[in-house]
Amino acid sequence: MKKAKENFWEKIFQYPSFSTRFWTTLSIILFFFFVITYILLFRTNFIEGTSNRISFLNLIIQGATFILGIFAAYYALRQLVETRFIGLDEAGMQELKRQHYSRAFDKWKEAFFIRPDITIFTNMCESLLLIGDYDTFDHYIKISENTDSIFKKGIDQEISDQIIISYLKSIRNLLVKNQGEAEKSLIKIIELIKKDGLPRLNWDFIDLQTSRAYQDLNGECKNIAENLISYLSGNMIPIRKIDFENKNFASQIVSLVESETK
């Protein structure tokens, strides 16, 4: 069983929020600042003469004020950026529900450049599929597959993230009727689920299903897409699930009512 690593702050505080870390760091810096100033002024002969000491003390105060101003500006900027990030995410979701896919992508792209969040990334990639911009989709998928990036390491930590990205890659190929490439992602999904079980994905498939791109899809690729969504939703009957996991991806879904009738 893997144990999550604790960073420096987690070893000190139970919940090291940004505010906690900020004020702790600032307090430590100011403490050492004043200790060094006290030692130089009153415990050593490093600075001689009252006027020189006063000048030095004024310089120290100006330096401390400058440092405090930098920290205060950073803190204010961080809070502003975080508020902007949340607002962009909410705006992107609203545009998606209105089926304004290009606007949704623009909102999520800006949010992604603020913070490389996996949920923002997957929403952004889905909006590209709904637009039909497959080249840009491929570009961002390459970012997620870059083994040297912190973003890639974050994805590898969660099975649900790997499944969603593989799902998006499969749908991308199904929408252009590239069934062979789609099946590669399907096989990976099945392997992940067989190994660790189907996790809670917290993913809304209805956005894809109500899109024009999905509704225009037909033939075996449409059947595969429907089967995949049913599989990831956990709605497949056991017999059909076994059939799907045996790589019979395109067969028609048999409903529970029909199976009981037979």
Q: Over the stretch 198-252, which tens digit does the pLDDT of each residue have?
A: 888 889 999 999 988 899 999 999 999 999 999 999 888 888 889 999 988 887 6
Q: Which of 131, 74, 73 is nearest to 106 (CA)?
A: 131
pLDDT score, position 41: 66
* Domain-wise residue ranges, the chain: 17-98, 116-262
- Give the largest Cα separation in the chain, rounded: 103
> pLDDT over 90 for what percent of the chain?
39
pTM above 0.75, yes or no: no
Q: Which of 157, 103, 155, 160 is nearest to 130 (CA)?
A: 103
CA atoms within 13 A on the CB side of 51: 0
Mean of the per-residue pLDDT values of the chain: 82
3-state secondary structure at position 73: helix
> Given a cut of 50, is residue 1 above it in pLDDT?
no
Q: In this predicted model, what pLDDT tens digit does every residue of 82-132 receive, in sequence order?
A: 899 999 999 999 999 999 999 999 999 988 888 888 899 999 999 999 999
Q: pLDDT: is 233 or 254 the higher one? A: 233
